[in-house]
Amino acid sequence: MIRISQLANSVQPSATMAAGAKARQMKAAGIRVYDFSLGEPDFPTPAHICQAAQKAMANGQTHYTPAGGIAELKKVIQKWYQQRYGFSFLPEQVFVSNGAKHSIHNALAAFCNPGDEVIIPTPYWVSYSDLVQMTGAVPVLVPTDPQNLFKITPAQLQKAITPKTRLFMINSPSNPTGTVYFREELMALAQVILKTEVAVLSDEIYEQLTYGEAQPTCFATLHPDLPARTITISGASKSYAMTGWRMGWTIATKAFIQAMDNIQSQETGCPSSISQHALIAALDGPQECVAEMKKEFEKRREIVCNLMGKIPGISFKIPEGAFYLFFDITALYGKTVGGIEIRDSVSFCKFALEVANVNLVPGAAFGMDGFARMSYATSTNEIEAGIAQLGKFLAN
Ligand code: PMP
Ligand code: GLU
């Protein structure tokens, strides 16, 4: 008999991936869905990146690579951080994997022991809590204040630290809230951390997508003592529209990267050779494509905020990064639309999908009920039509 392990039984499917799959199914069945579920840029991968992959294939670069990635790519990643943040490290401190999600999983597997406590500001990106639990460690969820733009404060962080705390996970710009911490705010959190033995996992995958005055910060560069205790994660999925290429990376200490390397060598062997060559072209090639996509996201952000702001019962603060709007729906509680009573984020999203054909992700999936997430990584037409649908049904 094929049985299912306790580990597998304890894992929830990723709510964002499940919502994306649901939209695909409905579309295949001929149903018109306005899909705002997945955080996946709708742009094609820029042509010069695709050409680099084609060239890699033509040149026979289609074999296994070293477990943690090819030397040429590690050099490009080094150069990128040096130029962008003045952050220097050795090639042995770089690790490439099949997406940032894989890097996070691998890093947690290399770091956590059963019973360790990992502090996660809430709302958090769906996979954090499950990935921590898969290692036997304990996610310690710290609810943040929407009025404080969902930013964990130094006092909240301090209070959450116990003798069992080993890791603090931070994500700025944030999924699902779009919040971008100011440098000074991260510095204040770093001051709390530096008084302890706690390490930091900083997920910076949306670093190139900040709007207006907001600026990204590379957490490890905030203090000379931080590189020794910070695991920096990023990836190409969001900024370069490369979700399907599965390219992510980690920067940490040499010994830790070696541990991640060992795990990856047993687990997947290495990341895709072709995608690694594409990533070289992405990071080392022309960057205008990123600027253009960012400009378009910024434009969509304005449209989304403008239109959603007109729907009575929905409230939010304007997000400064990534491509999500995380909005408060509690004022709609008690309302019944199309036979569905809105009483939490799940029933709200059920109404949105089944009545208005608008696909969103409930705040509960990110650890914070009372909110829903709208990804605006989709066309302006879709945004306008989908929000009009929501507004129409909520007005009735
Ligand atoms: N971190 C965050 C905060 C994300 O939103 C995502 C989105 N998928 C990831 C990591 C993982 O991205 P990927 O595995 O596609 O690199
Ligand atoms: N990160 C994206 C999201 O939150 C993609 C889906 C996923 O990897 O979970 O929608």
**pLDDT grade for 20, boundaries at 50, 70 and 90:** confident
Closest approach atom of ligand 2 to CA 361? 10
pLDDT over 90 (residue 15)? no
Residues in the ligand 1 pocket, defined by CB under 6 Å: 39, 99-101, 125, 171, 175, 203, 205, 235, 237, 243, 248
Indicate whether 104 and 158 sit together in one domain.
yes
Cβ-based burial of 28 (10 A; exposed 0-12, middle 13-18, buried ≥19): exposed
Round to whole Å and give the CA distance between 248 and 105: 11
393 C-alpha to ligand 1 centroid (Å): 32
**Torsion angles phi and psi, residue 147, rounded to 5:** -65, -25
Indicate whether 278 and 308 sit together in one domain.
no
**pLDDT grade for 12, boundaries at 50, 70 and 90:** confident
State the chain's maximal CA–CA distance in angstroms.
62
Indicate whether 280 and 304 sit together in one domain.
no
Indicate whether 110 and 126 sit together in one domain.
yes
**Torsion angles phi and psi, residue 315, rounded to 5:** -140, 155
In whole numbers, what is the pLDDT of the chain averaged over residues?
Answer: 96
Q: Which one of 284, 310, 325 terminates a domain?
A: 284
Measured from the alpha carbon of residue 19, the closest ligand is 2
**Average pLDDT of 183-206?**
98
Round to whole Å and give the CA distance between 288 and 282: 11
311 C-alpha to ligand 2 centroid (Å): 26
Q: Which one of 284, 314, 342 terminates a domain?
A: 284
CB distance 367 to ligand 2 below 6 Å: no
- pLDDT value at residue 375: 98
- pLDDT value at residue 205: 98
Range of the domain at 21: 6-31+289-395
Q: How many domains does the chain have?
A: 2
Indicate whether 305 and 244 sit together in one domain.
no
In a domain, 1, yes or no: no
CB distance 126 to ligand 2 below 6 Å: yes
**Average pLDDT of 181-201?**
98
38 C-alpha to ligand 2 centroid (Å): 6
Indicate whether 147 and 228 sit together in one domain.
yes
- pLDDT value at residue 23: 86
pLDDT over 80 (residue 50)? yes
Tens-place pLDDT, residues 158-171: 999 999 999 999 99
In a domain, 37, yes or no: no
pLDDT over 90 (residue 19)? no
pTM greater than 0.95 = yes
**pLDDT grade for 52, boundaries at 50, 70 and 90:** very high
Indicate whether 379 and 278 sit together in one domain.
no
**CB proximity list for 150: less than 8 A, separation 6 or greater:** 121, 123, 144, 174, 177, 179, 326
330 C-alpha to ligand 2 centroid (Å): 24
**Average pLDDT of 364-383?**
97
Tens-place pLDDT, residues 317-366: 999 999 999 999 999 999 999 999 999 999 999 999 999 999 999 999 99
49 C-alpha to ligand 1 centroid (Å): 20
Contact 149, 121 (CB under 8 A): no
Assign residue 337 the CATH number of its domain: 3.90.1150.10
45 C-alpha to ligand 2 centroid (Å): 17
**Cross-sheet strand order for the sheet of 361-362:** 324-328, 371-375, 361-362
Among the ranges given (26-40, 147-161, 295-309), the one the predictor scored with the smallest mean pLDDT:
26-40
Q: Give the residue carrying structure tokens 């709208």.
A: 374
9 CB neighbour count, 10 Å cutoff: 8
Closest approach atom of ligand 1 to CA 203? 1
More confident residue, 20 or 57: 57
Q: Whose CA is nearest to atom 5 of ligand 2?
A: 39
- The three state secondary structure string of the chain is CCCCCHHHHHCCCCHHHHHHHHHHHHHHCCCCCEECCCCCCCCCCCHHHHHHHHHHHHCCCCCCCCCCCCHHHHHHHHHHHHHHHCCCCCHHHEEEECCHHHHHHHHHHHHCCCCCEEEEEECCCCHHHHHHHHCCCEEEEEECCHHHCCCCCHHHHHHHCCCCEEEEEEECCCCCCCCCCCHHHHHHHHHHHHCCCCEEEEECCCCCCECCCCCCCCHHHHCCCCCCCEEEEEECCCCCCCHHHCCEEEECCHHHHHHHHHHHHHHCCCCCHHHHHHHHHHHHCCCHHHHHHHHHHHHHHHHHHHHHCCCCCCECCCCCECCEEEEECHHHCCCEECCEECCCHHHHHHHHHHCCCEECEEHHHHCCCCEEEEECCCCHHHHHHHHHHHHHHHHC
Tens-place pLDDT, residues 272-319: 999 999 999 999 999 999 999 999 999 999 999 999 999 999 999 999
**pLDDT grade for 18, boundaries at 50, 70 and 90:** confident
Instruction: Say what percent of the chain tops pLDDT 90.
Output: 94
**Average pLDDT of 59-86?**
98
Indicate whether 278 and 294 sit together in one domain.
no
**Average pLDDT of 181-198?**
98
- Chain-centre distance of CA 203, in angstroms? 7
Indicate whether 323 and 269 sit together in one domain.
no
**Torsion angles phi and psi, residue 186, rounded to 5:** -70, -35
pLDDT over 80 (residue 396)? no
Q: Which one of 247, 264, 284 terminates a domain?
A: 284
Candidate of 125, 210, 246 to mutate for ligand 1, largest count of ligand atoms within 8 Å of Cβ: 125
- pLDDT value at residue 182: 97
**Cα–Cα separations (whole angstroms), residue 257 to 34, 345, 370:** 42, 39, 39
